[in-house]
Amino acid sequence: MLRMVPLPRFAGEETGACCFPPPCSEAKRGRGTTRRVVEGARRSALGYLGDEPMSRTQGAGRAAAVAVFLAAVFVAIPWAIASTGRTDLYYTLSSVALLAIASGGVWLTFYIGRINIGQGAWALAGGYASAVLVATYGWSFWLSLPAAGLICAFASVLVGLPILRLRGVYFSMVTLVLTEVARLTALALPITNGARGITSIPTPGPIRLFGLTIVPAFDSLAEPNRAFYFLSAAMMTLCFAGLWRLVHSRLGQLFAALRQNEDLASSMGVNVPLLRVVAYAISSFLGGVGGAIFVAIAQSIYPSSFTINDSVNFMLNCFLGGLGFVFGPMLGTLVLYFGWDLLFQTGPYQLLIYSGSMILLMLVLPNGILSLLNLRRRAP
């Protein structure tokens, strides 16, 4: 897909924001548990969902982490790009943000205990939905964006009802096949224009409210890529904030219950099939939204825009970041994407080194990068 981009100079920028340990408010709990609570605060600020009682005294730490993250994404990065003139990075970072959104969806299906290797299908479906609405029916991009997400969510309910009954590798394999189904469908349908795809899709128009222009038309801007970066980053922030809230709400608790034991959950009266479909629909919604913005940036879409490779990568992003962390997929996407780009200069050895280091990483950190935080806790 959109990979071969020149070498970035400061890939660490966003990572720094992600991993920043927030200054924790000293716990007001019992003496012995202080250390645990503080650590809990640090990790829960990163969205760790593991095996520890969630402490509720981390407001300050969390707020600081969020502030640093927002400042880095919306101020520091644009400033650094402006001052170094590396405007190509806008495009790269937009891609990372959009892929992270789709990966976040995959992460949610992981969260209910399903390994989803089919997000490419929904990214493709969302991309096509937006492309057709904008290019063929003349919709505004801004309307097509939620529409694409909702179309994916709706379609994924229909697909999900039967396939979510499958567990383990069966579900994984079916979702993998689903990506192929999406590609072949895009090739076969008249409305998607077969292998030629849809090209010359207009860029997003303006948003006007009460005669006021809130967002200018993208093609009127000197740097549309900058606008796309802000759009993608804002969407990513929104999606992950939503995800974070979701898994910390009651719904999230029920999702976790599903992952750990579907039978027990249903014996307590939890409507397991419904919740599974809800999670899958949200996941596909994220895939569709990510795909739709991607298409708006590329101004074109083909059946091969999202393939099985992308589906696998979405899954890898989640694994690599750490499945126990809401923000794992964000970090995983960043690392994998920039890792791949950094290796560009190794020429023919790019894939070899890339996959080799992935294997090594698995050996050293089988529970994802963010699990480093847990290690530090265990070795005092």
Partner 1 sequence: MEQVIANGLYLGAQYALIALGLTLIFALMNVLNFAHGQMYVLGGFVVYQVYGLMKLPFVVALVAAAATLAVLGALLERFLFRTVIRRSEREESTMLLAAGIAYFLDAAILLMFGEKQRGVHKIVSGVFVWDNLILPWDRILVAGLAVLFIVAFILMMQYTKPGRAMRAMAQDRTAAQLMGVPVQFYGLVGFALGAMLAGLVGGLLVTITGVNSGIGGPISIKAFMMVMIGGAGVTGGAIAGGFILGMLESVGLTVLHAYGDLTYLAIFVAMMIFLAIRPNGLMGKPWG
Partner 2 sequence: MTDPILAVRDLTKRYGGLTAVNEVSFDVQEGEILSIIGPNGAGKSTIFKLISSFVTPTRGEVRFRGEVVSGLAAHVVARKGVVRTFQETTIFKGMTARDSVIVAHHLRSRASLFGFFFGTAAARRDEDAFGRSADEILDFLGLGAVRNELASNLPQGHLRALGIAIGLAADPKILLLDEPFAGMNVDETNQAVEMVRAVRDRGVTCLLVEHDMAAVMKISDRIVVINFGVKIAEGTPAAIRADEKVIEAYLGVEDESIGL
Q: Is 4 in the site for partner 1 (CB under 8 A)?
A: no
Q: Is 177 in the site for partner 1 (CB under 8 A)?
A: yes
Instruction: Please compute, for residue 87, the number of CA atoms within 13 A of its CA located in the half-sphere on the CB side.
Output: 9
Name the packing angle between helices 88-111 and 308-321 (round to 10°).
80
Q: Is 215 in the site for partner 2 (CB under 8 A)?
A: no
Q: Is 188 in the site for partner 1 (CB under 8 A)?
A: yes
Of 158, 191, 264, 359, which lies in the binding site for partner 2, with binding defined by CB under 8 A? 264
Query: Could you tell me how many residues make up the chain?
Result: 380
Tokens of 120: 């490419």
Cα–Cα distance list, 107 to 117, 168, 222, 280 (Å): 11, 15, 36, 10
Q: Is 264 in the site for partner 1 (CB under 8 A)?
A: no
Tokens of 27: 């716990």
**Rounded to the nearest whole angstrom, what is the least distance from the CB of residue 312 to partner 1 in the complex?**
5
Closest CA to 114 of 49, 154, 153, 169: 169
Q: Nearer Cβ to partner 1, position 99 or 233?
A: 99
Helix (H) / strand (E) containing 155: helix 141-163
- φ and ψ of 273, to 5 deg: -60, -40
**Strand pairing of 207-209 and 212-215?**
antiparallel
Contact partner, 165, from partner 1, partner 2, none, Cβ < 5-8 Å per class: partner 1
Tell me which amino acid residue 132 is: V
Q: Is 254 in the site for partner 2 (CB under 8 A)?
A: yes
Q: Is 268 in the site for partner 2 (CB under 8 A)?
A: yes
Q: Is 53 in the site for partner 2 (CB under 8 A)?
A: yes
Contact partner, 268, from partner 1, partner 2, none, Cβ < 5-8 Å per class: partner 2
**Rounded to the nearest whole angstrom, what is the least distance from the CB of residue 249 to partner 2 in the complex?**
4
Q: Is 274 in the site for partner 1 (CB under 8 A)?
A: no
Q: Is 380 in the site for partner 1 (CB under 8 A)?
A: no
Query: Is the Cβ–Cβ distance between 41 and 57 less than 8 Å?
Result: yes
Q: Distance between CA 371 and CA 323 in Å, rounded?
A: 9
Q: Is 1 in the site for partner 2 (CB under 8 A)?
A: no
Instruction: Count CB-CB contacts under 10 A for residue 96.
Output: 27
Residues that bind partner 2 (CB under 8 A): 50-51, 53, 245-246, 249-251, 253-254, 256-257, 259-261, 263-273
Residues that bind partner 1 (CB under 8 A): 110, 115, 159, 162-163, 165-170, 172-174, 176-178, 180-181, 184-185, 187-188, 308-309, 312, 315-316, 319-320, 323-324, 348-352, 354-356, 358-359, 362-363, 366-367, 371
